[in-house]
Amino acid sequence: MKSIRAQAYDAEHHATLGQGDNERFTGYGVMGLPFSSGHVLAMRRFPVTSVGPGYSSVWLRRPSGAWTICADAPPEVSCARYFGAALASTVQCPVDVTWTGEAALAVAVRGGLNLTWELELEPTPLTRAMTAVMSALPGFLLENGRFLRMMGAAAGPALRAGRLGLAGDVPNGQGFRAKPRRMWFVSSSTATLDGEDLGTPQPLQDQTRLGDFWIPQRGIFLIGASSFDTFDPGRHLPANAGRAR
């Protein structure tokens, strides 16, 4: 079987967008990872999207609850397009995602934030079983919000990740559908922010979320896709609805 790095390479270099006329993204990322300091980090690497160039982004939640999203593409065509209303700030700056081993990667943000984040990933019997199920699902089921909500409700406790939101509404008002195909757990991770050690991975006392997207209480790395309702200025908020800079 291919290593995690090789599968991510395939997702990076052979990514295609599924059919549809909504807003679509394909790639991989860390759904979210809480630390003992109270910080939360997440990462997205989408080499192809239907709304603009491919990009990488890092999400940061501080212990105060304030969220920042850093991306190497403008907010209007990256994650802030959907989550901007809930953010304290957005930053466009370099975001580097580097594979340092067959199951290890490093993420670095320079500019706006000074963040270094290292992760090691591992398969388990549970993630292998979840991958087998998710990779076999027909595409139309992964566009069905009711099915995804049921799948998330069942998967969250099974994964010991708390609530898991795979469908619902994002802060800017669009409906979203997360469509994972392959899964691994984060086995270990370290991070520093402006020279501060964020401690060890540890669930938050109160699980956090952005709209209906709940941040898992343990690190989960996914390869897959996401789709969102097409932006409608009459119903949806702009990327800079929060305090952008």
pLDDT in tens, 10-35: 999 998 887 788 999 999 999 999 99
135 inside domain: yes
* pLDDT for residue 20: 82
Q: What is the pLDDT of residue 112?
A: 74
pTM, to two decimals: 0.96
DSSP string, 125-184: HHHHHHHHHHHHS-TTGGG-HHHHHHHHHHHHHHTT-S---SEEE-TTS-EEEEEEEEEE
Measured between its terminal Cα atoms, the distance across the chain in Å is 44
The pLDDT score that the predictor gives to residue 194 is: 94
What distance in Å separates the CA atoms of residue 244 and residue 239, rounded to the nearest whole number?
8
pLDDT in the model for residue 14 = 92
pLDDT of residue 245: 40
What H or E segment, with its residue span, contains residue 101?
strand 95-101
Q: For the chain, what is the domain count?
A: 1
In a domain, residue 235? The reply is no
The count of other CB atoms within 10 Å of the CB of residue 208 is: 17
One-letter amino acid at 139 equals: G
Q: Using CB atoms within 10 A of its CB, is residue 97 exposed (0-12), middle (13-18) or buried (19+)? A: buried
CA 141 to chain centre: 20
Question: Does residue 48 form part of some domain?
Answer: yes
Residue 237 forms part of a structural domain: no
pLDDT in tens, the chain (245 residues): 799 999 999 999 998 887 788 999 999 999 999 999 999 999 999 999 999 999 999 999 999 999 999 999 999 999 999 999 999 999 999 999 999 999 999 999 988 789 999 999 999 999 999 999 999 999 899 999 999 999 999 999 999 999 999 999 999 999 999 999 999 999 999 999 999 999 999 999 999 999 999 999 999 999 999 999 999 999 999 998 875 44
For residue 138, tell me if it sits in a domain.
yes
Q: Residue 99's domain spans which residues?
A: 4-15+22-225
Helix, strand, coil percentages for the chain (3-state, nearest 5): 20, 40, 35
Classify residue 141: in a domain, yes or no: yes
Measured distance CA(198)–CA(201) in Å, rounded: 9
State whether residue 12 is helix, strand or coil. helix
- Is position 242 within any domain? no
Q: Is residue 173 situated within a structural domain?
A: yes
Alpha helices in the chain (DSSP H): 4-13, 80-83, 125-136, 145-158
